Amino acid sequence: MTQASICTIGDEILIGQIVDTNSSHISRALNSTGIKVTRMVSIGDDHDTIVNSLEAELQDNEIVIVTGGLGPTKDDITKNALAHLSGTETYRTDDTQLQIIHDILSSRGLALLDINIAQASVPDTCEVIPNRLGTAPVMVFRFHEDRFGHPATLYSLPGVPFEALGAIPDVISDIKAHFKVSDIHHRTIMTYGIAESALSKMIESWEDNLPADMHLAYLPNPLTGVRLRLSIYGGIKEEEEARIEEQLKLLKPVLGDSMYSDHEDTLEGCIGSILKQHGKTLSAAESCTGGMISALFTSVPGCSEYYLGSVTSYANSVKENVLGVPEEIIARHGAVSSECVAAMAEGVRKITGSDYSVATSGIAGPGRGTDEKPVGLVWVGVSSEKGTETFSFRFRHDRKRNIERFAASALNTLRIKLVNELTR
Amino acid sequence: MTQASICTIGDEILIGQIVDTNSSHISRALNSTGIKVTRMVSIGDDHDTIVNSLEAELQDNEIVIVTGGLGPTKDDITKNALAHLSGTETYRTDDTQLQIIHDILSSRGLALLDINIAQASVPDTCEVIPNRLGTAPVMVFRFHEDRFGHPATLYSLPGVPFEALGAIPDVISDIKAHFKVSDIHHRTIMTYGIAESALSKMIESWEDNLPADMHLAYLPNPLTGVRLRLSIYGGIKEEEEARIEEQLKLLKPVLGDSMYSDHEDTLEGCIGSILKQHGKTLSAAESCTGGMISALFTSVPGCSEYYLGSVTSYANSVKENVLGVPEEIIARHGAVSSECVAAMAEGVRKITGSDYSVATSGIAGPGRGTDEKPVGLVWVGVSSEKGTETFSFRFRHDRKRNIERFAASALNTLRIKLVNELTR
């Protein structure tokens, strides 16, 4: 299997000011092309470090993908290191990229500065893949097999995530044209509400009976639940996919309601699909989740077909005056109560005219809350013409994580109501 | 300066299913302790790879921090590799961690499984720092200077981000007790609305006059704007901080309104501080941003002091019926218009009774929109008793990024109104 390494350059990553998201996008693209990613490395903006590290990666891998170190205010450290590594000191200007730089700046009403023009200058040893989304071009350095004992290619991509992402399809095409790639077949099963260790116990006998060439990975995530990834390297696409499908058929009854997708869909995506399919509409009333549930619903393209809107009733006055929650409910039971989320869910359904609604009220923190209503407690209400139900969940995290988990458990509660009322 | 390397273990990172956020948290903690992070490496769950990579990192660094490879469903690959690396084959059970595992599972109503108990088993060559937030303990391996030519310590942390984060303070204490640490002094200046290249032009002469031992880094981020990080290594805390302060005094007039914080505050944090200080309240009306602005406001602890709530009026019917936007405004100008966001901002201020409000309506995509209203166009309205103003902005990204930029530019628009009306 062709092997690749991904290398990010930039002091900003080493000092922890920036989280590297590029490597994960790039490795996903490489993996689905059947290229094995063996390492990811982050190094600083230093000439010798860059040269030595990239040489080591090229020694071990046929493909090395570099991102970063190319911003307009960066020194030319990365470019000089790449020039040195490829045995040149001479630069040329890439006219296509220069035109793009010119177009981008003028469309933004900005003047063309010297530091912008300099971005179109590249070592004369490289080929250029133009970057239409930004100013720094993709540089491709091909090394003869005499150099590292095998043919090797280094791709240098801009560090801006949006631009790096945009360059991936062109890089993958180039890789397919120059390297032997084998296929990888996989399916990801999404589950929610069962901890990793309990899940592994639950599916133990199914897992033990998997064919030897099928690999199962557990990918826990507090917001999407544990994902189960089943994969096979090589083989014929149709045959291997049919074999995976066969295993899924055995797994589904074991997982029951805790499985929500066998195609990497999100909870909000599933909710949208069911609503669209049945022509129903949705609204939300949020307190502790503060708008996050609504933001998740609207992250799905095409959500305007079923999503009407929401009220974030952070203050009790908004719960009463906008959502119509009776004052005595809050006075008697408090805002974090079964009664209050039920009234919120019914209230938002009434004022928006939606078929379904979900409501949350909880204590995100910081602090400890009270014995009866501790930090981490959330009440979730779900409502439709068939009735309103409420549930409570308890988490033990900080404010940010509690809010995220409140939102995820509200989405899962709503999903189960939709599945029960619309699909059975 | 003491040098450190951070190493994450796990196939899930190499296949791109998980973004490594631990390394960035750990490197921030190390940096502010005056430890220089020289490399970050991600490798797969393979015995030889783990042993060889960690050996190489220990060769070059006094401190190596490892995360991942320790989940309950993982094979014991990482632990075996660490045992091998430290020259043992024998394990012991750590009673403190076993008790924690027992407590955590029973508080969640879960049974203690064999795979849970196994997590308290560690190579007998390591010290344990108990992990009170999860089941896998922190393991500390100390290597004599004969082994790598310098004393070296390897810390193995759990991979779950919440647990890794929780372990950092204990690890830093241990590092301070065993290594010579020097101080790093830095300040981060937050700017919004000026592109990196234009900003570097704007502050060029200030930057050229910086003392040689002060380092300036540009950290662009589309959501928070470009951060400028000014740092000095070593020296006496009070003296160096005074020298940085002196430079800031020169920089501030150059940056003007585009600077919003010199203490790494967020836009939503700044807005909260101004409102709190002046006893004013806030609400929001969102269309295209779908709840994200409200979620940002409520991400600030203590926001209930000034934040009342929001309406996400995704459907026009909600704009009309809940926010009271006149039907003829939408009929004549459309929902994405100056007139509509003005009416939304005034409407939400009225129904919530807030002093200030912000409203958005735009076209996030996907698709192209129309010539007059292209994808990426957003109208922002800000309202107070002193009046309502509207602004439009244009971005050129995909749905997700457009929504994020819409929200950030709305927050900045509101911030400038608050600065002008309350602090001048």
In chain A, residues with a C-beta closer than 8 Å to the C-beta of B24 are 13, 16-20
CA-based nearest distance A21→chain B, Å: 6
pLDDT band at B371; cut points 50, 70, 90: confident
* B42/A43 CB distance under 8 A: no
What integer is the mean pLDDT of A343-354?
Answer: 98
pLDDT tops 80 at residue A402: yes
Average pLDDT over residues A42-46: 92
Label the pairing between strands A3-9 and A36-43: parallel
Cross-chain CB nearest to A217 (options B11, B296, B309): B11
A183: left (phi over 0), alpha (psi -120 to 50) or beta: beta
Q: What is the pLDDT of residues B115-170, one digit of tens each?
A: 888 889 999 999 999 998 888 899 999 999 999 999 999 999 988 888 899 999 99
Interhelix angle B161-178/B22-32, rounded to 10 degrees, is 30
Q: For residue range A216-225, what is the model confidence (pLDDT) as tens digits?
A: 988 777 788 9
Query: What is the least distance, in Å, from the CA of B291 to any CA of chain A?
Result: 4
Contacts of A108 in chain B (CB under 8 A): 195
- Pick among B3, B11, B15 to test the A interface (most A CBs inside 10 A): B15
Q: Nearest CB to A27: which of B16, B288, B318?
A: B16
**Does the pLDDT of residue A197 top 90, yes or no?**
no
Chain A residue with Cα closest to B314? A309
Q: Decide if pLDDT at A75 tops 60.
A: no
Residue of B nearest to A12 (CA): B219
Which residues of A fall within a CB distance of 8 Å from B25? 16
Nearest to A12 among B12, B40, B219 (CB): B219
**Which of B11, B102, B314, B351 best tests the A interface by mutation, with the highest count of A CBs <10 A?**
B314
Say whether pLDDT at A33 is over 90: no
Least confident segment among A169-183, A239-253, A406-420: A169-183
Computed over every residue of chain B, the mean pLDDT equals 92
Strands B307-313 and B282-286: parallel
CB contact under 8 A, A19 and B15: no
Q: Do A294 and B294 touch (CB under 8 A)?
A: yes
Contact at CB, A290 and B290, closer than 8 angstroms? no
**Which of A24, A26, A196 lies at the smallest CB-CB distance from B73?**
A196
B218/A73 Cβ within 8 A: yes
Angle at A283 between CA A279 and CA A287, to 5 degrees: 160
Closest residue to B217, CB basis, from A12, A222, A352: A12
Residue A269 main-chain phi, psi, to 5 deg: -70, -45
pLDDT higher for A271 or B68? A271
Which structure tokens are listed for B169? 């303070």
pLDDT at residue A330, as a whole number: 97
pLDDT at B154: 98
Task: Tell me if A27 and B15 make a contact (CB, 8 A cut-off).
Answer: yes
| pLDDT score, position B74 | 58
Nearest to A314 among B39, B290, B308 (CB): B308
How far is residue A78's CA from residue A147's CA, in Å, rounded to a whole number? Answer: 21
**Residue A104: per-residue pLDDT:** 85
Using CB atoms, which residue from B196, B229, B298 is nearest to A17? B229
Residues B222, B404 contacting (CB under 8 angstroms)? yes
Q: Residue A56 — very low, low, confident or very high, per pLDDT cuts 50/70/90?
A: very high
pLDDT, residue A74, reads 58
To the nearest whole Å, the CA of A123 is away from the closest chain B CA by 22
Residue A117: pLDDT over 60: yes
Q: How many other CB atoms sit within 10 Å of the CB of residue A87?
A: 11
Using CB atoms, pick whichever of B44, B113, B299 lies closest to residue A197: B113
3-state secondary structure of B160: coil
Element (H, E) at B153: strand B152-157
- B195/A108 Cβ within 8 A: yes
Sign (positive or negative) of CA dihedral A246, A247, A248, A249? positive
Q: How far is CA B208 from CA A258, B203, B212, B249, B323, in A?
A: 60, 9, 10, 16, 52
From the list A12, A197, A218, the residue facing B116 with the nearest CB is A197
Quote the pLDDT of residue A72. 66
User: A85: which 2 tokens?
Assistant: 């590594």
Mind telling me how many Å the CA of B6 is from chain A's nearest CA? 9
Rounded CA-CA distance A289/A407 in Å is 6
Joined together, the tokens standing for residue A318 give 């908004």
Cβ B218–A71 below 8 Å, yes or no? Answer: yes
Say if residue B183's pLDDT is above 80: no
Determine contact, residues B98/B140, Cβ cutoff 8 Å.
no
Closest residue in B to A301 (Cα) is: B366
**CB contact (8 A) between residue B162 and residue A24:** no
- Beginning with the edge strand found earlier in the chain, give each strand of the sheet holding A356-362 in spatial order: A387-394, A377-384, A356-362, A282-286, A307-313, B307-313, B282-286, B356-362, B377-384, B387-394
pLDDT for the residue numbered A125: 97
Instruction: Identify the pLDDT of residue A108.
Output: 73
Choose among A12, A19, A310: nearest Cβ to B291: A310
Mean pLDDT, rounded, of chain A = 92
Contact residues, chain A, for B294 at CB < 8 Å: 286, 290-291, 294, 312, 314
Name every chain A residue with its beta carbon within 8 A of the beta carbon of B292. Answer: 291, 295
Q: Which domains does chain A show, CATH number per domain?
A: 3-178 (3.40.980.10), 184-261 (3.30.70.2860), 267-422 (3.90.950.20)
Residues B64 and B51 sit within 8 Å (Cβ to Cβ):
no
Give the tens place of pLDDT for each residue, B308-323. Answer: 999 999 999 999 999 9
**Rounded CA separation B83/B79 (Å):** 6
Listing DSSP states for B211-224 in one string gives -TT-EEEEE--TTT
* Chain A hits for B185, Cβ within 8 Å: none
**Chain B: closest CA distance from residue A120 (Å):** 15
Name the closest residue on chain A to residue B113, using Cα atoms.
A197
Q: Which of A109-123, A160-174, A317-331 has the lowest mean pLDDT?
A: A109-123
The verdict on a CB contact (< 8 Å) between A197 and B115 is: yes
Structure-block tokens of residue B35: 């430890």
Q: Are A67 and A164 in contact (CB under 8 A)?
A: yes
Split at pLDDT 50, 70, 90, the class of B222 is: confident
pLDDT of res. B75: 54
What φ, ψ does residue B233 adopt, rounded to 5°? Answer: -95, 140
* pLDDT band of A342, cuts 50, 70, 90: very high
Residue in chain B closest to A284 (alpha carbons) equals: B312
CA distance to partner chain B, nearest, from residue A39 (Å)? 5
Among residues A406, A413, A315, A401, the alpha carbon closest in space to that of A362 is found at A406
CB contact under 8 A, A72 and B293: no
As given in the structure block, the two tokens for residue B57 are 């990192």
> What was the pLDDT predicted at B217?
83
Q: What is the pTM of this model?
A: 0.82
- pLDDT over 90, % of chain B: 74
B11: nearest CA in chain A? A217
pLDDT over 90 at B277, yes or no: yes
DSSP A369: B
Return the residue in A294, A363, A405 with the most chain B beta carbons within 10 A, the one to mutate for interface testing. Answer: A294
**Structure tokens of A108?**
């933004």
Which residue among A13, A229, A318 sits closest to B17, beta carbon to beta carbon? A229
Residue A322, classed as helix, strand or coil, is coil
Test mutation, A1, A21, A24, chain B, max B CBs within 10 A: A24
| pLDDT computed for residue B236 by the predictor | 86
Question: Does the pLDDT value for residue A28 go beyond 70?
Answer: yes
Per-residue pLDDT at B59: 96
